Amino acid sequence: MRKLLILITQSKLWKWFILKALPYIRFTTQVNEITGKQYNDLSDHLFTGAIVLSNDKEKLSSFLIPGITSHAELCVDGTEEKMVGMTSKGFTESFLFDTCKDSDRVIILKCIDWDNDFIKEVVSYAYSFRLRKYDVTFTLGVESLYCSELIYQSDRYAYFYSAARIHNEQTKIKVDLSDVLGLGRPYLSPDGLLFAKNVVCVWDSNGELTGLTGREIELLVEKK
Protein backbone atom coordinates (compact mmCIF):
# COMPACT_ATOMS: atom_id res chain seq x y z
CA MET A 1 0.00 0.00 0.00
CA ARG A 2 2.82 2.40 0.85
CA LYS A 3 4.53 1.77 -2.51
CA LEU A 4 1.22 2.32 -4.27
CA LEU A 5 0.70 5.64 -2.47
CA ILE A 6 4.18 6.78 -3.46
CA LEU A 7 3.57 5.83 -7.10
CA ILE A 8 0.28 7.71 -7.09
CA THR A 9 1.82 10.89 -5.69
CA GLN A 10 4.51 10.78 -8.38
CA SER A 11 2.08 10.42 -11.29
CA LYS A 12 1.11 13.16 -13.74
CA LEU A 13 -2.56 12.60 -12.94
CA TRP A 14 -1.92 13.25 -9.23
CA LYS A 15 0.01 16.42 -10.03
CA TRP A 16 -2.87 17.66 -12.21
CA PHE A 17 -5.41 16.81 -9.52
CA ILE A 18 -3.51 18.58 -6.73
CA LEU A 19 -2.70 21.71 -8.72
CA LYS A 20 -5.69 22.12 -11.02
CA ALA A 21 -8.70 20.42 -9.42
CA LEU A 22 -8.38 19.99 -5.64
CA PRO A 23 -8.13 23.73 -4.76
CA TYR A 24 -11.47 24.47 -6.44
CA ILE A 25 -13.71 21.58 -5.37
CA ARG A 26 -16.26 22.58 -2.72
CA PHE A 27 -19.40 20.71 -1.72
CA THR A 28 -21.60 23.77 -1.29
CA THR A 29 -22.39 27.04 -3.00
CA GLN A 30 -22.75 28.86 0.34
CA VAL A 31 -20.19 31.42 1.43
CA ASN A 32 -17.70 30.72 4.19
CA GLU A 33 -18.57 31.30 7.85
CA ILE A 34 -16.00 33.86 9.07
CA THR A 35 -17.94 37.01 9.95
CA GLY A 36 -16.92 40.66 9.86
CA LYS A 37 -16.69 40.74 13.65
CA GLN A 38 -14.43 37.69 13.67
CA TYR A 39 -12.26 39.31 11.01
CA ASN A 40 -11.90 42.42 13.17
CA ASP A 41 -11.04 40.32 16.22
CA LEU A 42 -8.49 38.36 14.23
CA SER A 43 -6.98 41.59 12.89
CA ASP A 44 -6.58 42.89 16.46
CA HIS A 45 -4.60 39.76 17.43
CA LEU A 46 -2.44 39.44 14.32
CA PHE A 47 1.30 40.15 14.54
CA THR A 48 4.41 39.69 12.48
CA GLY A 49 5.58 36.11 12.93
CA ALA A 50 2.11 34.72 13.60
CA ILE A 51 1.39 31.26 12.25
CA VAL A 52 -2.10 31.40 10.78
CA LEU A 53 -4.00 28.15 10.29
CA SER A 54 -7.31 27.92 8.47
CA ASN A 55 -9.93 25.54 7.20
CA ASP A 56 -12.78 25.54 4.71
CA LYS A 57 -14.85 22.61 5.92
CA GLU A 58 -16.66 22.27 2.60
CA LYS A 59 -13.52 21.93 0.51
CA LEU A 60 -12.43 18.51 -0.68
CA SER A 61 -8.94 19.23 0.67
CA SER A 62 -10.39 19.36 4.20
CA PHE A 63 -11.65 15.80 3.79
CA LEU A 64 -8.31 14.56 2.41
CA ILE A 65 -6.17 16.27 5.07
CA PRO A 66 -7.28 14.89 8.44
CA GLY A 67 -7.49 17.28 11.37
CA ILE A 68 -8.79 20.64 12.52
CA THR A 69 -7.00 22.75 9.90
CA SER A 70 -5.96 22.22 6.29
CA HIS A 71 -3.82 25.26 5.44
CA ALA A 72 -0.96 27.19 7.06
CA GLU A 73 0.45 30.66 6.38
CA LEU A 74 3.02 32.97 7.94
CA CYS A 75 2.21 36.60 8.75
CA VAL A 76 5.21 38.58 7.48
CA ASP A 77 3.82 42.04 8.31
CA GLY A 78 1.29 42.40 11.11
CA THR A 79 0.68 46.09 10.41
CA GLU A 80 -0.17 45.50 6.75
CA GLU A 81 -1.80 42.11 7.56
CA LYS A 82 0.41 40.55 4.89
CA MET A 83 0.74 36.78 4.62
CA VAL A 84 2.88 34.34 2.65
CA GLY A 85 2.18 30.69 1.99
CA MET A 86 2.45 27.85 -0.46
CA THR A 87 -0.60 27.09 -2.61
CA SER A 88 -1.22 25.28 -5.87
CA LYS A 89 0.08 28.44 -7.55
CA GLY A 90 3.38 28.20 -5.68
CA PHE A 91 4.73 30.84 -3.31
CA THR A 92 1.83 33.21 -2.67
CA GLU A 93 1.62 36.64 -1.08
CA SER A 94 -1.81 37.61 0.21
CA PHE A 95 -3.56 39.43 3.02
CA LEU A 96 -5.54 38.47 6.10
CA PHE A 97 -8.81 39.29 4.35
CA ASP A 98 -8.01 36.74 1.64
CA THR A 99 -7.61 34.04 4.28
CA CYS A 100 -10.82 34.94 6.10
CA LYS A 101 -13.08 35.12 3.05
CA ASP A 102 -12.13 31.56 2.12
CA SER A 103 -12.33 30.03 5.61
CA ASP A 104 -14.81 28.71 8.15
CA ARG A 105 -12.23 28.71 10.92
CA VAL A 106 -9.01 30.65 11.48
CA ILE A 107 -6.47 30.07 14.25
CA ILE A 108 -3.51 32.29 15.20
CA LEU A 109 -0.48 30.65 16.81
CA LYS A 110 2.53 32.19 18.54
CA CYS A 111 5.79 30.26 18.88
CA ILE A 112 7.02 31.29 22.33
CA ASP A 113 10.67 30.67 21.36
CA TRP A 114 10.61 33.06 18.41
CA ASP A 115 11.88 36.47 19.53
CA ASN A 116 11.69 39.54 17.28
CA ASP A 117 15.17 39.07 15.81
CA PHE A 118 14.50 35.43 15.01
CA ILE A 119 11.14 36.29 13.43
CA LYS A 120 12.94 38.66 11.06
CA GLU A 121 15.18 35.78 10.01
CA VAL A 122 12.22 33.41 9.56
CA VAL A 123 10.46 35.97 7.35
CA SER A 124 13.65 36.53 5.36
CA TYR A 125 14.10 32.82 4.68
CA ALA A 126 10.42 32.45 3.80
CA TYR A 127 10.97 34.97 1.02
CA SER A 128 14.12 33.15 -0.07
CA PHE A 129 11.80 30.31 -1.17
CA ARG A 130 9.63 32.56 -3.34
CA LEU A 131 10.63 30.80 -6.58
CA ARG A 132 9.79 27.33 -5.28
CA LYS A 133 6.84 25.38 -6.65
CA TYR A 134 4.18 23.58 -4.65
CA ASP A 135 5.25 20.13 -3.46
CA VAL A 136 2.65 17.65 -4.75
CA THR A 137 4.53 14.67 -3.26
CA PHE A 138 4.68 16.12 0.29
CA THR A 139 8.39 15.34 0.66
CA LEU A 140 10.47 17.31 3.16
CA GLY A 141 13.08 19.40 1.38
CA VAL A 142 13.40 22.85 -0.14
CA GLU A 143 13.29 21.90 -3.82
CA SER A 144 9.52 22.34 -3.58
CA LEU A 145 7.34 23.10 -0.57
CA TYR A 146 3.83 22.54 0.78
CA CYS A 147 2.11 25.04 3.07
CA SER A 148 3.15 23.95 6.54
CA GLU A 149 6.61 22.98 5.27
CA LEU A 150 7.32 26.57 4.21
CA ILE A 151 7.07 27.63 7.85
CA TYR A 152 9.08 24.63 9.05
CA GLN A 153 11.91 25.17 6.54
CA SER A 154 12.01 28.93 7.17
CA ASP A 155 12.48 28.21 10.88
CA ARG A 156 15.00 25.45 10.16
CA TYR A 157 17.22 27.64 8.00
CA ALA A 158 17.00 30.58 10.40
CA TYR A 159 17.90 28.31 13.30
CA PHE A 160 20.69 26.51 11.46
CA TYR A 161 22.53 29.77 10.90
CA SER A 162 21.75 31.08 14.37
CA ALA A 163 24.61 31.42 16.86
CA ALA A 164 22.22 30.23 19.59
CA ARG A 165 21.47 26.91 17.90
CA ILE A 166 21.27 23.98 20.31
CA HIS A 167 23.18 20.84 19.31
CA ASN A 168 21.06 18.17 17.55
CA GLU A 169 17.95 20.36 17.38
CA GLN A 170 16.81 21.13 13.84
CA THR A 171 14.28 23.90 14.46
CA LYS A 172 13.16 26.28 17.19
CA ILE A 173 9.54 25.29 16.74
CA LYS A 174 9.13 21.85 18.30
CA VAL A 175 6.99 19.78 15.94
CA ASP A 176 6.38 16.08 15.43
CA LEU A 177 7.22 14.91 11.90
CA SER A 178 5.10 11.77 12.07
CA ASP A 179 4.25 9.78 8.97
CA VAL A 180 0.51 10.57 9.12
CA LEU A 181 0.11 10.08 5.37
CA GLY A 182 1.54 6.57 5.46
CA LEU A 183 4.19 7.33 2.84
CA GLY A 184 7.12 6.03 4.86
CA ARG A 185 8.65 9.49 5.27
CA PRO A 186 8.26 12.43 7.65
CA TYR A 187 5.39 14.84 7.05
CA LEU A 188 4.22 18.02 8.79
CA SER A 189 0.51 18.80 8.52
CA PRO A 190 -1.01 22.16 9.50
CA ASP A 191 -2.23 20.41 12.66
CA GLY A 192 1.39 19.41 13.29
CA LEU A 193 2.08 23.12 13.77
CA LEU A 194 -1.03 23.42 15.94
CA PHE A 195 0.29 20.64 18.23
CA ALA A 196 3.86 22.00 18.46
CA LYS A 197 5.13 21.86 22.03
CA ASN A 198 6.14 25.51 22.16
CA VAL A 199 3.20 27.29 20.55
CA VAL A 200 0.23 29.04 22.13
CA CYS A 201 -3.11 29.64 20.44
CA VAL A 202 -3.55 33.42 20.53
CA TRP A 203 -6.94 33.41 18.83
CA ASP A 204 -9.42 30.84 17.54
CA SER A 205 -12.48 31.96 15.60
CA ASN A 206 -14.42 29.13 17.29
CA GLY A 207 -13.21 30.24 20.73
CA GLU A 208 -12.42 26.66 21.70
CA LEU A 209 -8.61 26.72 21.66
CA THR A 210 -7.78 30.32 22.58
CA GLY A 211 -5.13 30.43 25.32
CA LEU A 212 -4.17 26.76 25.08
CA THR A 213 -0.68 25.46 24.36
CA GLY A 214 0.00 23.10 21.48
CA ARG A 215 0.29 20.14 23.84
CA GLU A 216 -2.99 21.03 25.56
CA ILE A 217 -4.70 21.25 22.18
CA GLU A 218 -3.33 17.86 21.17
CA LEU A 219 -4.60 16.27 24.40
CA LEU A 220 -7.99 17.88 23.92
CA VAL A 221 -8.25 16.44 20.41
CA GLU A 222 -7.17 12.98 21.61
CA LYS A 223 -9.99 12.95 24.18
CA LYS A 224 -12.67 13.57 21.55
> What is the CATH number for 119?
3.90.1720.10
In this predicted structure, what is the pLDDT of residue 224?
79
Average pLDDT (128-149) is 94
In this predicted structure, what is the pLDDT of residue 182?
59
**Which range has the worst mean pLDDT, 59-73, 92-106, 140-154, 201-215?**
59-73
In this predicted structure, what is the pLDDT of residue 2?
54
Count of the separate structural domains present in the chain: 1
Model pLDDT for residues 65-76, shown as the tens digit of each residue: 778 999 999 999
In this predicted structure, what is the pLDDT of residue 23?
85
SS3 letters across the chain:
CHHHHHHHHCCHHHHHHHHHHHHHCECCCCCCCCCHHHHHHHHHHCCCCCEEEEECCCEHHHHHCCCCCCEEEEEEECCCCEEEEEECCEEEEEEHHHHHHCCCEEEEEEECCCCHHHHHHHHHHHHHCCCCEECCCCCCCCCEECHHHHHHHHHHHHHHCCCCCCCCCCCCCCCCCCCCCCCCCCCCCHHHHHCCCCEEEEEECCCCCCCCEHHHHHHHHHHC
Model pLDDT for residues 188-217, shown as the tens digit of each residue: 999 999 999 999 999 999 999 999 999 999
Average pLDDT (11-21) is 87
131-144 b/e (C-beta count within 10 Å ≥ 16 → b)? ebebbbbbbbebeb
In this predicted structure, what is the pLDDT of residue 22?
85
**Which range has the worst mean pLDDT, 77-81, 108-112, 135-139, 162-166?**
162-166
**Percent residues over pLDDT 90 in the chain:** 68
Q: What is the residue range of 133's domain?
A: 2-223
Whether residue 6 has pLDDT greater than 70? no
What is the overall mean pLDDT for the chain?
90
In this predicted structure, what is the pLDDT of residue 181?
57
Reported confidence tier of residue 165, pLDDT bands at 50, 70, 90: low
Average pLDDT (140-161) is 94
